[in-house]
Amino acid sequence: MTSKGDLTRARLAASMLELIQTSGYAGTGLNAVIEHAAAPKGSIYFHFPDGKEGLGVAAVELAEAQFAALIAEVAETAGSAAGAARAAIEALAAIVGESDFRLGCPVSVVTLEMGAESERLRQACAAAFASWITPTTELLVGSGLAESEARSLATVVVSMIEGAVIVSRATRSTEPLHAAADVVAELIEGRVAQVGGAR
């Protein structure tokens, strides 16, 4: 059973996550998080004694879990690694577009703003990216690629998605994400076909 304290902590992390996407990490104050989460004053330092940095780490970890869940969901239904990648990117395009381009990837936001300022936040962001690269690698290995090549390609895929999200928000168009979905799917299909043909 989830306690009231656990719910408050989760609500604070979710609010921090949303506010990072709309206002950036530096632009998100603790008072804004408390107001957005409708949480009692003082609750941040009760649940996050290390203040904003700890709350930022929790927000990054929440984003990590959400995207990992999306990857797992599409992997179950897509039928192929290329199909899973396309479905994941199209789902992100819908999120970005439906938010009127206010929402993107909070992990990239925190990395760009705080990666050189906070080693703890940098490590949390690195762990988030790794958590998305790993299951993508596993999908590619399952399609016949060798582990090293699969990890390299998975890293490219995740990097391309991150870049496409940023460009989509800047141009207020989901076209960069749709284009990335096409290119990523073609890239995976081509490499898997080459490996299959070489056998």
Q: What is the pLDDT of residue 117?
A: 92
In a domain, 51, yes or no: no
In a domain, 110, yes or no: yes
Q: What percentage of the chain carries pLDDT values higher than 70?
A: 97
- In angstroms and rounded to an integer, the radius of gyration of the C-alpha atoms of the chain is 18
Q: What is the pLDDT of residue 79?
A: 83
In a domain, 91, yes or no: yes
Q: What is the pLDDT of residue 171?
A: 97
Q: How many residues does the chain have?
A: 199
Q: What is the pLDDT of residue 56?
A: 96
**What pTM does this model have?**
0.89
Average pLDDT, the chain: 92
Structural contact between residues 33 and 44, judged by C-beta atoms closer than 8 angstroms: yes
Q: What is the pLDDT of residue 166?
A: 95
In a domain, 171, yes or no: yes
Q: What is the pLDDT of residue 49?
A: 93
The residues, any chain, with a CB within 8 Å of residue 192's CB and separated by 6 or more, are: 80, 81, 82, 140, 143, 144, 145
Residues of the chain with pLDDT under 50: none
Q: What is the pLDDT of residue 96?
A: 95
CATH number of domain containing 71: 1.10.357.10
The residues, any chain, with a CB within 8 Å of residue 61's CB and separated by 6 or more, are: 13, 124, 127, 128
Range of the domain at 73: 61-198
Nearest residue to 107 (alpha-carbon basis) of 44, 184, 166, 151: 166
In a domain, 46, yes or no: no
In a domain, 158, yes or no: yes
Q: How many domains does the chain have?
A: 1
Extended beta strands in 51-190, E state:
none
In a domain, 194, yes or no: yes
140-168 per-position pLDDT tens digit = 999 999 999 999 999 999 999 999 999 99
Q: What is the pLDDT of residue 63?
A: 94
Structural contact between residues 53 and 118, judged by C-beta atoms closer than 8 angstroms: yes
CA dihedral for 20, 4, 48, 124, sign (positive or negative): negative
In a domain, 30, yes or no: no
Query: How is residue 61 written in tokens?
Result: 């970890």
Question: Could you give the CA distance from residue 62 to residue 82 in angstroms, rounded to a whole number?
Answer: 26
